[in-house]
Amino acid sequence: MNLPRPALLPTFLRELTGTQTLPREPEPDAIMVDEAQVAAFSETGRNESTLAASYLFHTARACQAIQGCKRVVDLGCGPANQLIQIAELNPEIDFIGIDMSQEMLRRAREHVASAGISNVSFETGDITQLTQFEDRSIDGVMSTVSLHHLPTLGHLERCFREISRVLKPGGAVYLADFGRLKSLKSVIFFAYMNQDRDPHQLLLDYERSLRAAFLLSDFERLVSECLPESVKIYNTFKVPLLILLKTEDKSLPRAKVDALNAMRKTLNPRFRHDLDDMRIFFKLGGLKNDIFS
């Protein structure tokens, strides 16, 4: 999710001045079962890649949202690369990853075993029907880049209503996803700007994700209709390429802040630059309490 500053200008202007809305193209495979697709997402995420910056950004932000929770559900956990990073920093929280893809969950279980952590379990399930959970039984719900996989706005609405149902009063929410751009040219720009460093399958996935993204206005309407009032919406400055729906930040213990900053320092400089771009564009979009120094 690299946002190169000068090269971004034409895309930024096109999106700011555009009047059309790009029609939504749902993901060809809502549930990620295709072997090449699963492998690209799963393995690239574990090695150094564009995803590294995004993972660390969401880890830091999600930690702030879920601090103090006992049990957190991750909707559409995929191979659990993101989830494991968050779970390692929050050993006092039990995490349950939900996905409908057996292949993703197989990899997720392998990744948890090799990470040697015991606070993550998995369940096969549909994030629009969280029937395995009682009403008001969960302290926190998170999801990263999975909502755009839902086939229709009706599915997104069902997912949000389920989140509200299972969440305890005052529960934590951290939902991150892409927002739909106005022009196909902008989609292609963002999807392929890292073609020198990322595998083709991952770039293709990114293009499909951006085509399948919901509009910021879809999120705004459904958040106000279906999610608790405590959930606020944030997006990257002016152009909502990335969208966050989240409850308020809690203050983190010093040890977690230090661990997150140490993780930022060890990122390859290219990915640290990507992370800092995400931080800048969200900060300009009104997101406060950045814990990186």
> Rule CB under 6 A: is residue 188 a binding residue for ligand SAM?
no
- Identify which of 231, 39, 242 has the alpha carbon closest to the alpha carbon of residue 142: 231
Residues 62, 256: contact at Cβ < 8 Å?
Answer: no
H or E stretch at 120: strand 120-124
Residue from 86, 104, 227, 244 that binds ligand SAM (CB under 6 A)? 104
Contact by Cβ (8 Å): 157, 220: no
**Smallest gap from residue 140 Cβ to ligand SAM (A):** 15
Strand partners, 90: none
Q: Which residues contact 71 (CB under 8 A, 6 or more apart)?
A: 93, 94, 95, 96, 137, 138, 139, 140
Find out whether 181 and 210 touch, Cβ atoms under 8 Å: yes
262 Cβ partners below 8 Å, 6+ apart?
none
> In the set 60, 61, 122, 126, which binds ligand SAM (CB under 6 A)?
126
Please, which residue, 8 or 263, has the CB nearer to ligand SAM?
A: 263
Dig out the tokens for 218 from the structure. 């879809």
Q: In angstroms, what is the minimal distance from the CB of 21 to ligand SAM?
A: 23
CB nearer to ligand SAM: pick between 72 and 98: 98
Q: Give the total residue count for the chain.
A: 293
Among 18, 26, 30, 184, binds ligand SAM (CB under 6 A): 30
Structure tokens at 161: 């209503």
Q: Which is nearer to ligand SAM, 149 or 279 (CB)?
A: 149
Residue showing the smallest CB distance to ligand SAM in the complex: 78
Nearer to ligand SAM, 149 or 264 (CB): 149
100: contact with ligand SAM by CB under 6 A: yes
15 touches ligand SAM (CB under 6 A) = no
Among 14, 18, 31, 34, which residue sits at the site for ligand SAM (rule: CB under 6 A)? 31
Please state, in angstroms and rounded to a whole number, the distance separating the CA atoms of residues 144 and 91: 20
Closest contact distance (angstroms) between CB of 199 and ligand SAM is: 15
> Minimal distance in Å, beta carbon 17 to ligand SAM?
31
Q: Does 3 bind ligand SAM (CB under 6 A)?
A: no
Contact between 76 and ligand SAM by CB under 6 A: the answer reads yes
Stretch that binds ligand SAM, among 97-105, 114-122, 265-273, 275-283 (CB under 6 A): 97-105
Residue 180: what are its φ and ψ, rounded to 5°?
Answer: -75, 130
Q: Is 44 in the site for ligand SAM (CB under 6 A)?
A: no
- Cα angle 173, 27, 14 (rounded to 5 degrees) comes to 85
# binding residues, ligand SAM (CB under 6 A):
23
Among 145, 80, 146, CA closest to 114: 80
* Residues in contact with ligand SAM by the rule CB under 6 A: 30-32, 41, 45, 76-78, 81-82, 98-101, 104, 126-128, 144-146, 149-150
